[in-house]
Amino acid sequence: MTGAGALALILGALGFQYLGHIAPCEMCHWQRWPHIAAAVIGLIGVAIWKKDARSLAIAASVLVALSGLIGAYQTGMQWGLLPGPDACTVDHAYVMGSGAPPPQVSCNAVTWSLFGLSLAAYNAVFSFLIAGTGAFLLRRKHGA
């Protein structure tokens, strides 16, 4: 379940990048790596190593939660609540048509939002929901 959720989030991010033409920032890439690992572990690892399926499912849930933490941190940067890495933030927004070369995408810039939440915020929300659901399902007692 967690692997499928991680795969859905990765496909969504790639859809925004390639279909929506929204370039990812450095922290966007940081959020993708745990999802990729969780998808591989959750979908392929659990199918191959059935004996360790529970441990692999726990690892996938932790990786998805890690991506959510990175997304929450980036959201805090975007809202001006948290400082960001110097290499990933800019003090002023790029003005289109100014003649200046466009900078790399800044991690503290909101390039897309819906209902006041950026992609990083949505990644945090959905990652925490997926990881929490995975943890809840792992805690349930299964009758044999």
Three-class secondary structure of residue 95 per DSSP:
coil
Q: How far apart are CA 47 and CA 51, in angstroms?
A: 10
Query: Does a structural domain hold residue 69?
Result: yes
**Cα distance between residue 75 and residue 77, in whole Å:** 5
User: What backbone phi and psi angles, to 5 degrees, belong to 30?
Assistant: -60, -35
Confirm whether 144 is domain-assigned.
no
Determine the pLDDT at residue 137: 86
Q: What is the mean pLDDT of the chain?
A: 82
Rounded-to-integer distance, Cα 29 and Cα 59, Å: 20
- Cβ within 8 Å of residue 120, ≥6 positions away: 27, 28, 31, 71, 72, 74, 75, 78
Indicate the number of domains in the chain: 1
The reply to whether 117 falls in a domain is yes
* Rounded Cα gap, residues 118 and 107, in angstroms: 11
pLDDT of res. 62: 92
- The percent of residues above 70 in pLDDT, for the chain, comes to 83
In a domain, residue 98? The reply is no
pTM of the model: 0.80
pLDDT digits (tens, 9 = 90+) for 99-126: 655 556 777 878 887 898 899 999 999 9
Phi/psi of residue 130, nearest 5 degrees: -65, -45
Q: Quote the tokens at residue 138.
A: 């792992």
Res. 71 pLDDT band, cuts 50 70 90: very high
Q: Tokens at residue 102, please?
A: 């466009």
Distance CA 118, CA 114 (A): 7
Looking at the predicted structure, is the pLDDT value of residue 42 above 90? no
In sequence order, the β-bridge partners of residue 113 are 118
20-33 per-position pLDDT tens digit: 888 888 888 889 99
Amino acid residing at 134: G
Residue 103 within a domain: no
Residue 63 has pLDDT above 70, yes or no: yes
Residue 64 lies in a domain: yes
Domain assignment present for 11: yes
Whether 71 maps to a domain, the answer reads yes
Confidence of residue 131 (pLDDT cuts 50, 70, 90): very high
Domain span holding position 23:
2-87+108-139
